[in-house]
């Protein structure tokens, strides 16, 4: 049992790393930006603005990559979503938000796992 606690301690310290926190924040920013972009695209479709050029996933990816900074934005989105996913797993396993081990806390931590996936 003591071995498990000793090996888990460096992982908990790594989870509190300021660089990881920066990546976590990037993940939140990217997630919010993706929701905003989806909202704008849905609004444009509803208002019939733009001729429907990028109304599906393939069209939106082609539109993004064809822009001058599109590949850079795509790389940042990938990094941000990976960081958000990692943060979700850390929240579920190590419980830095102190949700607890009762039914409500376990349900919240299960939600973190599903969000990460």
Alpha-carbon distance 56 to 38, whole Å? 11
Predicted TM-score (pTM) of this structure: 0.65
pLDDT value of residue 14: 64
H-run or E-run covering 63? helix 57-66
Residue showing tokens 């990546």: 23
pLDDT value of residue 4: 46
Q: Which residues contact 82 (CB under 8 A, 6 or more apart)?
A: 27
> Average pLDDT per run of 10 along the chain, which is 117 residues long?
51 71 84 82 76 60 76 85 87 82 90 89
Alpha-carbon distance 76 to 69, whole Å? 11
The 10s digit of each residue's pLDDT in 61-92 is 677 777 788 888 888 888 888 888 888 888 88
Residue showing tokens 């539109």: 63
């Amino acid at each position: 049992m003591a071995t498990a606690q000793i090996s888990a301690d460096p992982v908990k310290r790594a989870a509190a790393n300021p660089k990881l926190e920066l990546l976590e924040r990037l993940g939140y920013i990217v997630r919010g930006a993706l929701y905003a972009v989806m909202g704008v695209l849905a609004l444009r479709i509803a208002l019939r603005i733009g001729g429907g050029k990028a109304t599906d996933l393939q069209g939106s990816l082609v539109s993004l990559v064809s822009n001058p900074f599109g590949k850079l934005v795509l790389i940042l989105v990938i990094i941000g979503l990976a960081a958000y996913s990692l943060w979700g797993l850390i929240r579920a396993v190590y419980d830095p938000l102190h949700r607890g081990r009762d039914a409500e806390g376990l349900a919240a931590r299960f939600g973190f796992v599903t969000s990460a996936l």
